[in-house]
């Protein structure tokens, strides 16, 4: 018995005081092979984007080096990603690069997106145990023909007796225009909120994280009103979700993507209030950050300042990282 207690204490002593949660839209992280089950095969050697093996491996190497940099060469607890094609690209990134030493595992389901890009969750097996995962389908009652990415849900158990519910989102874009697509994002927000409410109905103090590319800003009605996620200073007693990315002045950088001369925060991490006020695993609302490493940015000669060092600009290959910046927040152990 004494040996067992000693081993448990030793294991707990080796666990970190905090773990990092992050999200990154990886900008069309496709493999270079033709998928006979898909109509869309632009990201292949013969496709319109001329996506060769050389370009694929350059992108893969860019991504792993960036992850090592913003994780400070430590394992991330949970990393949500979107715009990844399949298990092959996740395996190439997390099992065939120096990231493999962190013992990452990932959750991915082939979704309905026309181009074949999906959300995924990557996690450190040394820090979290996967209990359950599923996709939460996008269903729009006002348009039965509408197709969008599923929301990815996973339930984790950490090694200090906490349960975490995690959602990775990639909501419908504004590609067809703001007014034409606003209801699609409202629909995604309702779907996410309904799933959150179903968890809280069973476990009122459940620790929940929603992360993703919401394709809208924290002040948009779909996030602030429909999803009900607000800055902590705006939350009343009845509010449950805290948007850690609601104020750009707190985040160390202006935004996560740039349109012409305007930076916007589309990539966000939202948590349940229970994760803010917990005496065990918790996060501080002031710790959230936009990762803005210099190599992720490049000079903006048209609109001045900086812009994203992306892989493509339309059909033109640039060889960079992504058209979004990563976002992150540490989860801390112990008393606040």
For 56-85, what is each residue's pLDDT tens digit? 999 999 999 999 999 999 999 999 999 999
The parent domain of residue 266 ranges over 19-332
Residue 335 has pLDDT above 90, yes or no: no
2 falls within a domain = no
Q: What is the pLDDT of residues 114-123, one digit of tens each?
A: 999 999 999 9
CA dihedral 194, 198, 199, 203 (to 10 degrees): 140
What is each CA distance from 203 to 73, 135, 198, 206, 207, in whole angstroms?
35, 20, 9, 5, 9
6 falls within a domain = no
Q: Taking Cα atoms as reference points, which of 153, 239, 224 lies closest to residue 186? A: 224
**How many Cα neighbours within 13 Å face the side chain of 48?**
8
Residue with tokens 């948009």: 220
Q: What is the pLDDT of residues 104-160, one digit of tens each?
A: 999 999 999 999 999 999 999 999 999 999 999 999 998 889 999 999 999 999 988
11 falls within a domain = no
| Residues 154/132, Cβ–Cβ less than 8 Å | yes
The length of the chain is 336
In whole angstroms, give the CA distance from residue 35 to residue 37: 5
14 falls within a domain = no
In whole angstroms, give the CA distance from residue 291 to residue 252: 8
Mutual orientation of helices 53-70 and 87-94 as an angle, nearest 10°?
A: 60
Q: What is the pLDDT of residues 13-47, one digit of tens each?
A: 466 789 999 999 999 999 999 998 889 999 999 99
Predicted local confidence at residue 36, as pLDDT:
85
- Name the band, by pLDDT with cuts 50, 70 and 90, for residue 6: very low
CATH number for position 49: 3.60.10.10
| Residues 151/188, Cβ–Cβ less than 8 Å | yes
Both tokens of 110, joined, read 């082939």
Helices (H), 84-219: 87-94, 178-200
How many CB atoms lie under 10 A from the CB of residue 162? 17
pLDDT averaged over the chain?
A: 93
In whole angstroms, give the CA distance from residue 330 to residue 96: 26
pTM: 0.94
Measure the CA angle with vertex 174, ends 244 and 266; round to 5°: 15
Cβ neighbourhood burial of 105 (10 Å; 0-12, 13-18, 19+): middle
Indicate the number of domains in the chain: 1
149 falls within a domain = yes
| Residues 4/19, Cβ–Cβ less than 8 Å | no
Predicted local confidence at residue 243, as pLDDT:
98
Residue 9 has pLDDT above 60, yes or no: no
**How many Cα neighbours within 13 Å face the side chain of 147?**
8
302 falls within a domain = yes
How many CB atoms lie under 10 A from the CB of residue 103? 14
12 falls within a domain = no
206 falls within a domain = yes
Predicted local confidence at residue 13, as pLDDT:
47
Q: What is the CA radius of gyration of the chain?
A: 20
């Amino acid at each position: 018995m004494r040996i067992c207690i000693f081993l448990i204490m030793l294991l707990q002593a080796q666990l970190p005081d905090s773990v990092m949660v992050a999200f990154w839209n990886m900008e069309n992280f496709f493999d270079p092979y033709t998928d006979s089950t898909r109509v869309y095969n632009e990201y292949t050697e013969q496709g319109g984007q001329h996506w060769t093996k050389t370009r694929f491996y350059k992108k893969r190497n860019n991504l792993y080096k960036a992850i090592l940099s913003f994780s400070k060469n430590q394992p991330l607890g949970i990393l949500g990603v979107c715009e990844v094609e399949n298990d092959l690209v996740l395996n190439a990134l997390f099992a065939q690069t120096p990231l493999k030493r962190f013992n990452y595992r990932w959750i991915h389901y082939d979704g309905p997106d026309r181009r074949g890009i999906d959300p995924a969750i990557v996690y450190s097996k040394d820090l979290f145990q996967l209990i359950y995962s599923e996709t939460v389908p996008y269903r729009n009652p006002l348009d039965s023909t509408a197709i969008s990415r599923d929301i990815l849900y996973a339930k984790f158990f950490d090694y200090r007796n906490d349960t975490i519910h995690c959602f990775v989102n990639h909501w419908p874009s504004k590609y067809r225009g703001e007014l034409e697509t606003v209801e699609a994002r409202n629909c995604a927000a309702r779907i996410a909120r309904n799933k959150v409410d179903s968890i809280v109905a069973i476990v009122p103090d459940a620790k929940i994280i929603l992360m993703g590319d919401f394709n809208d800003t924290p002040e948009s009605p779909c996030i602030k009103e429909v999803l009900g996620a607000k800055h902590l200073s705006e939350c009343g007693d009845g509010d449950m979700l805290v948007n850690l990315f609601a104020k750009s002045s707190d985040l160390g950088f202006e935004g996560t993507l740039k349109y012409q001369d305007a930076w916007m925060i589309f990539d966000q991490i939202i948590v349940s209030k229970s994760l803010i006020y917990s005496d065990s695993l918790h996060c501080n609302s002031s710790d959230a950050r936009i990762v803005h490493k210099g190599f992720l940015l490049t000079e903006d000669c048209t609109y001045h300042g900086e812009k994203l060092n992306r892989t493509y600009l339309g059909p033109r290959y640039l060889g960079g990282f992504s058209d979004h910046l990563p976002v992150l927040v540490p989860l801390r152990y112990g008393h606040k």
